[in-house]
Amino acid sequence: MTILALESSCDDTGAAVMRDGALLSNVVATQHVHEQYGGVVPELASRAHQQHVLPVVTAALRQAGVGKHELDAVAVTQGPGLLGSLLVGGMFAKSLALALDKPLLAVNHMRAHILAHFIEEPRPAFPFLCLTVSGGHTQLVVVRSALAMEVIGQTIDDAAGEAFDKTAKLLGLPYPGGPRLDKLAQTGNPRRFAFPEGALPGGYDFSFSGLKTAVLYFLKKETAAYPPFIEENLADLCASIQHTIVSTLLRQLRRAAAATGLTQVALAGGVAANSGLRAALQAEAQERGWQVFIPAFPFCTDNAAMIAMSAHFQYLAGDFASQLLSPDPRLKLK
């Protein structure tokens, strides 16, 4: 069973080929056009997807050594994501499936982030708990099987990656600020400044907009009194902000693990690269006897290999889409 998968939900155009669950190729074209705007510009993202989709698919087939007539199915991200971006991948996949007379598979991007754990060893066993943290999403999910997932907590406003990027921007760091803030945090004191945590009481939800506002007003006050405040305290500011975000994530993860009794804990999404989050999770795991799973970085950020992995499970379950498939920017995970 050979599947070609496409990913175009945000600002990465991806194509991957998978045969019987084994990844044969995984190509991603990242769009740099957004850097000058300090965030993803949806219209520019759609246009860049249009430019990248054919070369990326061609490269994925070539690297896999697979001709298009050898494909058994074409898979594509249906949502969630940016409508214009999803449309480009969706139309391409539908056209290709129609031309080749092969079945189409519609993949939920959030489910795919979680199933990225099955691309390579070590793979978690079902059921497990997954914290998906990216620029667009923050979700705590009980993963019962490849196709049965329950979202038990999520952000009610900004995603964790957005919290990193937006606070980094307030510190004057270029977009996307998350990785830069992480690097600077490594030499800073995480307990120097205290910011409000965003773990909502009651369930397992998160809120990160309060942190952004708190940092904004704090910096305004301090720089009014002493203009070089940010540059002279940059590492400590980064470390303190990172510590706040990581503590918030860990607090809800700890509560969810205790309530569900799950001891296999998985991280997914681009923020899984954060060194503070990784260290805190490993420390927590040691203390509580959790087994931790983090996919290799190229499978954490947006990629088509994870779309192919989800499509693989869906193909086995007979979960196919029709040519009437349309993108759903707010597609829910279930």
Q: Which residues bind ligand KG4 (CB under 6 A)?
A: 10, 134-136, 161, 164-165, 176, 178-179, 182, 269-271, 273-274, 301-302
Task: Give the residue with the Cβ less far from Zn ion, 138 or 240.
Answer: 138
- In angstroms, what is the minimal distance from the CB of 16 to ligand KG4? 15
> How many angstroms from the chain centroid is the CA of residue 269?
3
Compute the least distance from the CB of residue 108 to ligand KG4, in Å.
13
Shortest CB 138 distance to Zn ion, Å? 11
- Minimum separation from the CB atom of position 184 to ligand KG4 (A): 11
2 Ramachandran zone, left/alpha/beta (phi>0; psi -120 to 50): beta
Using CB under 5 A, pick the residue from 164, 302, 313, 315 that binds Zn ion.
302
Give the one entry of Zn ion, ligand KG4, none that residue 7 binds, where binding means its C-beta sits below a cut-off of 5 to 8 angstroms depending on kind: none
Q: How far is the CB of 200 from Zn ion (least distance, A)?
A: 23
Q: For residues 153 and 161, which CB has a smaller minimum distance to ligand KG4 in the complex?
A: 161
| Smallest gap from residue 273 Cβ to ligand KG4 (A) | 4
Cα gap 63→124, rounded to integer Å = 28
When computed from its CA atoms, the radius of gyration of the chain, rounded to whole angstroms, is: 20
- From Zn ion, ligand KG4, none, which one binds at residue 164 (CB under 5 to 8 Å depending on kind)? ligand KG4
Amino acid found at 195: F
CA distance 293 to 147: 19
With CB cut-offs between 5 and 8 Å by kind, which of Zn ion, ligand KG4, none does residue 158 bind? Answer: none
For helices 83-100 and 42-64, angle between their N-to-C axes, nearest 10 degrees:
30
Whose structure tokens read 């499970």? 313
**Helices 160-170, 177-185: crossing angle, 10 deg rounding:** 80
* Closer residue to Zn ion, CB minimum distance, 81 or 198: 81
Closer CB to ligand KG4, 31 or 301, in the complex? 301
**Minimum CB distance to Zn ion, residue 40 (Å):** 12
Alpha helices in 31-186 (DSSP H): 42-64, 83-100, 109-115, 160-170, 177-185
- Of residues 134 and 314, the one with the C-beta less far from Zn ion: 134
Q: Which is closer to ligand KG4, CB of 34 or CB of 94?
A: 34
Do the beta carbons of residue 75 and residue 308 sit within 8 Å?
yes
CB 24 within 8 A of CB 65: yes
Element (H, E) at 242: helix 234-260
Which residues fall within 8 angstroms of residue 256, CB to CB, at 6 or more apart?
Answer: 129, 140, 142, 152, 153, 204, 262
Which residue number, 236 or 302, has a Cβ lying nearer to Zn ion?
302
What's the start-to-end Cα distance of the chain, in Å?
25
Helix or strand run (H / E) with residue 79: strand 73-79
| Residue 13's binding partner out of Zn ion, ligand KG4, none, with CB under 5 to 8 Å set by partner kind | none
Which x/- pattern, by CB under 5 A, does the window 126-145 give for Zn ion?
--------x-----------
Which among 54-62, 140-148, 272-280, 300-308 is the span making contact with Zn ion, rule CB under 5 A?
Answer: 300-308
**Residues at the site binding Zn ion, with contacts judged by CB under 5 A:** 134, 302
